[in-house]
Amino acid sequence: MRIAVEGCMHGDLDTVYRTLQYAEKKHGFKIDLLLCCGDFQAVRNEEDLESVNVPRKYRSMNSFWKYYSGEELAPYPTIFIGGNHEASNYLWELYYGGWAAPNIYFLGFAGVVKFGNIRIGGLSGIYNSRNYYLGHHERPPYNESTIRSVYHVREYDVQKLMQVEEPIDIFLSHDWPLGITDYGKWEELVRRKPYFKKEIQERTLGSAAAAQLLEKLKPPYWFSAHLHCKFAALVQHGEGGPLTKFLALDKCLPGRPFLQILELESEPGPYEIQYDEEWLAITRRFNSIFPLTRRRANFGTVDLLKEECHQWVGSRLQERGAKPFEFVQTVPCYNPSQSGSSGSFSGYPRNPQTESFLQFLELPYLLDNMSEPKDLSYSPASLLQSDILPSCWPCLRDCCRNCLPLSPMEVFLQVAALKTGSKLGSFDDNSEAIPIDDVDELEELAEEVDDEET
């Protein structure tokens, strides 16, 4: 199985898909799946732009709407997590995960799915200690505060992922696990991104929640984005323990390392995205304490009948099958010939996928509820480098300066960005009380200094 991984999409699906198709044609291989590490920007229409935390002058429809409308079809099954520049109103409709467009699957605020025999987990959003222990109290239309806090990682979602016992093969997070730079060539990173140095030295660069999950889940592969640069690390979990190969990727721009392709040993295809039995059992057990206000979740009341719940879900999947419920449009799609948002808020649409999913698990629909939870349990062209260069994962142990060769089934190919005519703006956000929330503004300042010096 050959899987492509992309950093920050920023709504530029057309460029990413064209780059992958170019790689397939040039090198004669087939890509089975695309994973995106956040800032996907599933913007369906101009009203959705009001829920994206970017300055108004940088808001753009980009290309997702074409895939939502059916004008274009994603050429590869695509799985994405959320970042900190998302159409948060739409992702809230699909809190538990679901098809954002045909062949494009949102993993949810936290989630695990199967693709063939490969288990893929993910955590959406970025870490912010101020909001970590709060419930999911934000609802559209968002104000200046909630448009930012809605994408902050919550303890509730992390604790659900902490219950996973069966092995995860690949994990996605938008921001990096806290301390991951200890396991890579951080000095080289600082030479490229000097404004990271202070946070690295103070051990504030990254997500404490993601670090907790890395230590618990120990997946063979972990991919992130957010900081708009490529960075590799190799984490060994205890002496003689399993290894996690970590890779952060850049944003989708010409000349930037935003794509990576890996080959994994798997059962023969064809492959499709399917529900994961263990994850559905966890979702069912935890739904009764879903925190819908600012109040912290009460984990002491979680249903502890784990094995019984697992068996119940297994029997339900056996009856119905594990294929996710079908995609359904819930709002009108953007029409370029009739541009201009109405400026009015259309309310809280219930996504039929989410309703069907909850009915399948015999759970109540809570996403438009802001009351305290009760006992709700139920019985192209030119590349950056002259070619797509084969590479191997760097060995980052202190005892070795050489490269760590990969097995034949773990071949990594660095795919550089195709030069396109697309124009993406930079974002600024000075309101987050964390060391680095989004580095776009810092990159702009650094580029301005470089221009002045040259």
- Per-residue pLDDT for the chain (454 aa), expressed as one digit of tens each? 999 999 999 999 999 999 999 999 999 999 999 999 999 999 999 999 999 999 999 899 999 999 999 999 999 999 999 999 999 999 999 999 999 999 999 999 999 999 999 999 999 999 999 999 999 999 999 999 999 999 999 999 999 999 999 999 999 999 999 999 999 999 999 999 999 999 999 999 999 999 999 999 999 999 999 999 999 999 999 999 999 999 999 999 999 999 999 999 998 888 999 999 999 999 999 999 999 999 999 998 887 678 899 999 999 999 999 999 999 999 999 999 886 655 555 667 899 999 999 999 999 999 987 765 554 443 333 333 323 333 334 333 333 333 333 333 333 333 333 333 333 333 233 334 333 444 444 444 444 444 443 3
In a domain, 290, yes or no: yes
The candidate with the shortest Cα–Cα distance to 224, out of 188, 260, 263, is 260
Question: How confident is the model at residue 407, as a pLDDT?
Answer: 33
Say if 378 falls within a structural domain: no
Residue 389 lies in a domain: no
Is 429 a domain residue? no
* CA distances (Å), origin 282, targets 18, 160, 304, 365: 37, 7, 10, 17
68 Cβ neighbours under 8 A, 6+ residues apart: 42, 44, 100, 101, 329, 333
Q: Quick one: pLDDT at residue 445?
A: 42
Tokens representing 98? 């679901």
Q: Is residue 437 part of a domain?
A: no
SS3 letters across the chain: CEEEEECECCCCHHHHHHHHHHHHHHHCCCCCEEEECCCCCCCCCHHHHCCCCCCHHHCCCCCHHHHHHCCCCCCCCEEECCCCCCCHHHHHHCCCCEEEECCEEECCCEEEEEECCEEEEEECCECCCCCCCCCCCCCCCCCCCHHHHCCECCHHHHHHHHCCCCCCCEEEECCCECCHHHHECHHHHHHHCHHHHHHHHCCCCCEHHHHHHHHHHCCCEEEECCCCCCEEEEEECCCCCCEEEEEECCECCCCCCCEEEEECCCCCCCCCEEECHHHHHHHHHHHHHCCCCCCCCCHHHCCCCHHHHHHHHHHHHHHHCCCCCCCCCCCCCCCHHHCCCCCCCCCCCCCHHHHHHHHHCCCCCCCCCCCCCCCCCCCCCCCCCCCCEEECCECCCCCCCCECCCCHHHCEEEECCCCCCCCCCCCCCCCCCCCCCCCHHHHHHHHHHHHHHC
User: Is position 360 within any domain?
Assistant: yes
Please tell me the total count of domains within the chain: 1
Which residues form the domain of 308?
Answer: 2-370
- Whether 17 maps to a domain, the answer reads yes
pLDDT at 372: 55
Q: Which residues pair with 114 in a beta bridge?
A: 119, 274
Is residue 11 in some structural domain? yes
pTM of the model: 0.84
- Rounded to an integer, what distance in angstroms lies between the CA atom of residue 195 and that of residue 454? 20
